[in-house]
């Protein structure tokens, strides 16, 4: 297997100190692969604006650049617009991770300068499929979460669908990962995860067959290497849960491994190439 470099060029990754804020425990779905499920089943609440302001103050003091808003379902937070306003005032780059159900209920001006990343599990399935996305005037990136059942046709059909019908500019290929497997070992594949070598083959075939113009982001999963950016040995991520709970590495979220505080770019980590947050970015050469 080789990358079709005749079609794509790699874009270097901009490293950002990133805090993921689990801003609400509410969700309209109960996805099998939800890595926040143990965190959000505790209760059913939203982060308050006061708590969010404190989180942002601390984040800026620590040299943070990027906020990812997660849940639960962030678009169910009643103060989402105010939270995005705070981020804009502080010039913080923001991405909202959403299941897509409520994207028809917001206008572009509500989302301010944030990016929306909509996760898709299938082409035509009942939940979180490309075909079940509502009509919207919002711009968004599609994030296809590959599972053991994903095949090449549905990946291609989904990419073509979101590009044609929603004018998506970015198609992210990632994986549903089961992180609370018995050994709590993130290289283990379990019932819903596509085995890593099969994932590698699927991505290669997708890159060969896909003829659209979206940028393709690929979760590395330890089997894709960047040709532009050296792996980092310091962690630049942290997770904040409502009530002040901190978990540094997303791999620890399912298992609720809390810690007192977080720092960016200080904690050593040798897992960078398999890190949930690591990816490569490919751009079509003719675009
Ligand atoms: S795998 Fe390493 S770099 Fe990635 S979030 Fe966890 S500790 Fe940080």
Sequence spans of domains, the chain: 8-284
- Name the residue at shortest CA distance from atom 7 of ligand 1: 249
Among 238, 265, 277, which is best to mutate for testing ligand 1, by the most ligand atoms less than 8 A from CB? 277
Greater confidence, 212 or 256? 212
Q: Whole-prediction pTM value?
A: 0.94
Ligand 1 atom nearest 250 alpha carbon: 5
Q: Buried b vs exposed e over 21-48: b needs ≥16 C-beta within 10 Å?
A: bbbbbbbeeebebbbbbebbeeeeebbe
* Domain 8-284: top CATH class: alpha beta
Q: Write out pLDDT tens, residues 82-98.
A: 999 999 999 999 999 99
Residue with tokens 């200080």: 266
CA-wise closest residue to 133 among 98, 108, 109, 107:
98
Instruction: Out of 33-47, 150-164, 244-258, 260-274, pick the least confident.
Output: 33-47
What is the average per-residue pLDDT within 12-24? Answer: 95
Q: Give the pLDDT score at 184.
A: 59
Query: How many Å apart are CA 233 and CA 138, to the nearest integer?
Result: 36
Ligand 1 atom nearest 277 alpha carbon: 4
Q: Write out pLDDT tens, residues 164-209.
A: 999 999 999 999 876 655 565 655 666 788 988 999 999 999 999 9
* Backbone torsions φ then ψ of 18, nearest 5 degrees: -120, 125
């Amino acid at each position: 297997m080789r990358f079709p470099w005749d079609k794509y060029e790699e874009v270097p990754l901009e490293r950002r100190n990133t805090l993921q804020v689990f801003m609400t425990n509410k969700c309209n779905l109960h996805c099998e692969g939800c890595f926040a499920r143990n965190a959000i089943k505790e209760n059913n609440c939203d982060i308050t604006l006061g708590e969010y302001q404190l989180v942002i103050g601390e984040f800026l003091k620590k040299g943070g650049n990027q906020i990812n808003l997660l849940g639960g379902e962030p678009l169910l937070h009643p103060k989402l617009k105010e939270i995005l306003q705070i981020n804009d005032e502080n010039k913080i780059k923001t991405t909202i991770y959403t299941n897509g159900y409520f994207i028809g209920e917001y206008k572009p001006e509500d989302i301010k300068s944030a990016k929306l990343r909509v996760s898709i599990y299938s082409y035509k399935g009942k939940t979180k499929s490309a075909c079940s996305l509502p009509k919207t005037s919002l711009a968004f990136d599609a994030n296809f979460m590959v599972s053991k059942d994903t095949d090449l046709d549905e990946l291609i059909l989904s990419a073509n669908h979101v590009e044609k019908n929603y004018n998506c500019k970015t198609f992210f290929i990632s994986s549903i990962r089961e992180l609370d497997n018995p050994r709590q070992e993130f290289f283990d594949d379990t019932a819903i995860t596509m085995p890593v070598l099969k994932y590698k083959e699927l991505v290669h075939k997708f890159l060969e067959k896909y003829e659209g113009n979206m940028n393709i982001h690929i979760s590395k999963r330890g089997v894709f290497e960047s040709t532009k950016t050296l792996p980092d040995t310091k962690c630049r991520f942290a997770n904040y849960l409502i009530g002040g709970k901190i978990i540094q590495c997303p791999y620890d979220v399912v298992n609720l491994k809390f810690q007192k505080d977080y720092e960016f770019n200080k904690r050593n980590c040798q897992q960078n190439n398999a890190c949930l947050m690591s990816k490569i970015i490919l751009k079509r050469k003719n675009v």
